[in-house]
A and B are shown apart, each in its own frame.
Chain A
Amino acid sequence: MSDDLDARLLHSFASGEQPLAAEPFVAAVTARIAAARRWRLDVRSCYSVVGTIAGGLGTGVLALKRVWLLVIGAAAVSVWAAFL
């Protein structure tokens, strides 16, 4: 507790503390956490799609000589996205 505090002000502050209903607030926080999780899943999915497309281009369309580099890169992006 801070020293040199004014007793009247302390009383005014203490009397203003009121218990607030928990449930609507908890529901709002839970909804925000769920939305944030969904957004992170969407980002993860996007990275995964990019990785798959890059792999597909490398193996199927472009038929590059060093296609294994692209495949490894795509796999790395997918693994990295899984840990986001």
Chain B
Amino acid sequence: MLALGQVAEATVVALAMNGDAAAFCELVRRRQSALRNLLRRLSRDAALADDLAQQTFLKAWRALPQLRSVAAFGAWLRRLAVNTWLEHVRAAPPPAVALDPEELGAAPGSATSPDTQLDLDRALAQLAPQERLCVVLAYSEGMSHGEISSATALPLGTVKSHVRRGSERLRALLSAYHSVQEHAHVG
């Protein structure tokens, strides 16, 4: 007999839809990392992101019998996560944080260093919630503009504009930070 960990996801989803708790746990195990990373990008707070991810899986467990197609599970779960985050933002809008490149002052590193990730996260925090959402879904999740529009219920034109302007802003913030780093390195 196959262990759940070796079974194709469509089968596991079908089992979970019929109330199989072990199958649902297996889905949580498979999807948790991607979902938590997405919510960490959106919220910039690991504890909050994990709490929102738990809420998302709880909603998924309750609503799973209404899922129309097992193949749609991934996109459906991501939409639940996005809606959970949006509900949280509406209930408690995060305070705007001014980015001061001097304040970061970390040692220069490679493009993949933790410092760079910190810069990216802080730069992301400068974007408005909807702009950040569109940028993260495009860059982190690899979603097309149309997919983002249907996942967030934002008009397609708004999504395109958010992704374009958000990317420009991120580039500007990151290059400002890198120039400060180079300046500090030379000095």
Taking Cβ atoms with an 8 Å cutoff, the residues of A that contact B are 1-6, 8-13, 15-20, 22, 25-26, 28-30, 32-33, 36
Contact = CB atoms under 8 A, between A and B. Distances in A.
Contact of A22 (B32, B121, B170): B32
Contact of B36 (A5, A20, A32, A36): A20
Contacts, number: 94
Nearest to B31: A22
What 4 pairs across the A-B complex have the smallest Cβ distances? A15-B112, A13-B139, A2-B138, A20-B33
B28 A5 contact: no
Interface string B77-113: 0000000000000000000000000000000000110
A33 B143 contact: no
Interface residues of B, number: 38
B171 A9 contact: yes
A13 B28 contact: no
Interface of B: 21, 24-25, 28-29, 32-33, 36-37, 41, 50, 53-54, 57-58, 61-62, 111-112, 116-117, 120-121, 136, 138-140, 142-145, 148, 163-164, 167, 170-171, 174
Contacts of A33: 21, 24, 57-58, 61
